Amino acid sequence: MTYARITGTGSYLPEKVMTNHDLEKIVETSDQWIRERTGIEQRHIAGDNETTVDLAEKASRLAIEAAGIDAAEIDLIILATSTPDKIFPSSACILQARLDIHGCPAFDIQAVCTGFVYALAVADKFIKTGSAKKALVVGAEIFSRILNWEDRATCVLFGDGAGAVILEASEETGILSTHIHADGKYENLLWVPHGIGDGFDEVKQGRGVVEMRGNEVFKMAVNTLGRIVDETLAANRMAKSDIDWLVPHQANIRIITATARKLKMSMDQVVVTVNKHGNTSAASVPLALDVAVRDGRIKANELVMLEAFGGGFTWGSVLLRY
């Protein structure tokens, strides 16, 4: 049987760090208020001249180096983002050119915070069907460009960054299962309500920004992620105790701890980066994964569950043997 196996990870965070104390100077909030409600201490913010593809390229090169392959060997590129550089071409195509890769399929996936999980699910299918042998899967975002910096309910939550993995066809166990879902009826609980459908008029007037009904989103996230945990374990006939590591979407420490309780996992088995990264949307899962791989926590042959929830609503999970 052919598996899609992660052979390299990489990530990149912009140099500029914005702490909660920095936010106190521009919006009515406090370090204590943000920490208590979200667990966030700081986030990284892209420079004026940095783009989503800039971040994606740096993360990708590190993943390629970690996998020990030549970029020319990559035969599939999927980039998950809600903040692409351009309407078209896709950010994946721009990244493809930056990496001097030619001819293979390259496309973006937009599932907001679940984007990387969606992208892994798609790449897994490509590899298992023999349509690709080495895939570059990236999550990259510059959410700071779509925030209302006067809205303390949203601007304190998000940050910028990118994470990437190399997936290779292997006879060794890799991705065991993927599970992705969506329900568009909840669109206005977490959304950017304006865009090309308005001819960008609203965007030009500064209204193309994230809007969120936080309490409703929190409840939906906790309940939905609980169900995806059950679905994933049932599909693989596994017990909660079989999971070595949980790498969750980094949105809110309370959502993360609720999911850990569902799995009856110690927080020592949960990768948490939300305190340092904030919510980087599609970049958060691969960023957290790379941190835990590079610091030696996640080791070969351990069982890892990735999960995420995002606007749409979208949600999903990946269970893999690292």
Residues forming the active site? 113, 249, 279
The count of other CB atoms within 10 Å of the CB of residue 92 is 25
Question: What is the bridge-based pairing of β-strands 42-45 and 16-19?
Answer: antiparallel
Q: What is the DSSP string of 232-252?
A: HHHHTT--GGG--EEEE--S-
**Which amino acid is it at 274?**
V
Q: Exposed, middle or buried by CB within 10 Å (0-12, 13-18, 19+), for 219?
A: exposed
Two tokens, residue 23: 């936010």
Two tokens, residue 254: 């309370």
DSSP E strand boundaries for the chain: 3-12, 16-19, 42-45, 76-80, 106-109, 134-142, 160-170, 175-182, 190-191, 211-212, 245-248, 303-310, 314-321
Question: What is the bridge-based pairing of β-strands 190-191 and 211-212?
Answer: antiparallel
Cα 24 from Cα 19, distance rounded (Å): 9
Cα 222 from Cα 216, distance rounded (Å): 10
Cα 124 from Cα 117, distance rounded (Å): 10
Q: Exposed, middle or buried by CB within 10 Å (0-12, 13-18, 19+), for 71?
A: middle
Which of the 8 DSSP states describes residue 227? H
